[in-house]
Structure 1
Amino acid sequence: MAEIIDITKDRRRAIEAGCAVLGDGFPIAIPTETVYGLAADATNPAAIARIYETKGRPRFNPLICHMADLEMAEEYAAFDPISRALAEAFWPGPLTIVVPLRPHSAIHGLATAGLDTVGIRLPRGFAGDLIRAFGHPLAAPSANTSGKISATSAAHVEADLGDKIRLILDAGASAVGVESTIVKVEAGRLRLLRPGGLVASEIERVAGRRLLRSGKASAAIEAPGMLASHYAPGAAVRLDATHIDEGEALIAFGAAPIAGSEHARIVLNLSRNGNLAEAAANLFDYMKQADASGAATIAFSAVPDEGLGEAINDRLRRAAAPRE
């Protein structure tokens, strides 16, 4: 089983132990403000391969590479003016920017799934300090079995991957609770590849242009979180529920009553007062609780498709999508 180190009690030991395991070429679970990540040296192909093996993740699905600062990021990738402006405005934070790799970049092709671009993010807090101490970028998808519910606590990671990895660094619950927003600049146009913890309106304000959306799932996988079926619990998922059938789990949003909720196996509310930030922070934990209740179906009431609601609804639609 994985060793768990509480970074709030011994930050120095956590960094030393993390660097040691990373240096041996093995992935570790690290806390970030979005979700917990399964991190390994982005320049080491054996280490990256272990991420895919541990998660059971298809290798055509690229990994986000996490950096300590913009200076480190520019060693590996090239930033156009719009991407640089976004980086300077929102890093560290829940924004991933897809940019071209520099020629002969040390980031290994396994991390980028062979693409000539790379998704880069600067995480807040401890993860950035760990990367700075390690001295190499970390490829880090969410620390969960591929396609399943993302982990927002060390306990989630331990329950899912605890027998497959050596180390989990524990910083408590993730503050944002959904993965980063992913954007890409192409020919001066700004595209949204995945909604996430940074709302679109803030990105548009800094970029000075609209954030274009594809309107449907893309056939080309350019960034993580673009698979049609993703973030899925074991139970089936039903969206926009206005009533509950007996034995279903209910995950509600807001104060509006849901008919039949008294017959639900479990009732959880993402935010009774309709706060989307609170809802995002609770989303994956409540999905795990509802799944553990034994209900065959998890019913979600409607969440407004605005602000952080765009990211929440993206996750819910992918959780509800047909599974292969």
Structure 2
Amino acid sequence: MERNVSSPLILTFFSTQLPLNTTADINATVKPFSVFDGCDHQVEGIYFDLTLQCINIVVGIPANLLVIAILIHNRKEPTTSDIFLGCLAFMDAYFSAMTPVSFLNLHHWQSKAVWSAIKFSYGVKDTSGPLFLSCICLDRFVAVLFPIMFGQLKHIKYRLNLSMLVFCLTFAYSGAKVVGGLPNFEKVFTGEILAAFTWMAVCNVCILRALKKSRGAGKNEMHPMKQKAFKMVLSILYIIVFNYLPPVVLFPFEDYYSPDVFRCYVQPVGFAFLNISSTIQPLVYLSRLEKVPFLSDTCVKKCCTCVSAENNKTPPIHDPPA
């Protein structure tokens, strides 16, 4: 299963150049170029994916840059998950910025080198999002269920090391995706997304249950700090269900679809939900803030209608410094 193989952003397969002295009897016939890669008459799923990627350009890039600016602005009072949030926002902004390049390469350049860079960005999106969200879930999981251990592991060096590990895994996967030709490589993403989805879902459910049980006897309201953690974990749970559940449900059943249906409909639609997370993730983060720096309250209310009035009444509460 190759990522977005049916998207119009995906050019036809480039054959590796053979040595001039080869003696093998090889059919050198090259398939005619098609921007739809065999899906010329089944373009609905492709256009669905493209529409969501256009939203990433208009909304996702500014939202992710704003998240990075806010994290830098709040660097004196950081939360332990800020480094993961910043890396995730940076990767999402990078992926969103590659969409115009894809359009230009599709309709103008048609360059193999540019296509390799675009394919690398798809590998980054495939890997960095699930892994960094998993890191955020791990951070919250330890903080809520093992507070003593969390206090011992609160130093930023642990999160820096974990972030470097994620970057190494991301670049290794993306590089292998660009090289191509690896046997059963398409199953790597299926295994990764299934493992990440399972971990994040189980982790968040455990956190939510623990936070609900932590209310004092006879008290109906949760401690403000725990209430903030509850809302953060709940928002992550919404993200993983909306953005990651479709590919988790669809991709393992590849053999039940005909090759054309899977390539032209199932894959583009499944990845479209994954791609739009580059917009949803920063918007969810911004909607949880009591006050958004650099923006007026009127602008915030217009852009983030999901911000509740109750949040505006609650005084800002920060996690302990990392």
**In which range does the TM-score fall when normalised by the shorter chain?**
under 0.3
Larger radius of gyration: 2
TM-score where L is the length of structure 2: 0.23
TM-score where L is the length of structure 1: 0.23
Which of the two has greater helix per residue? 2
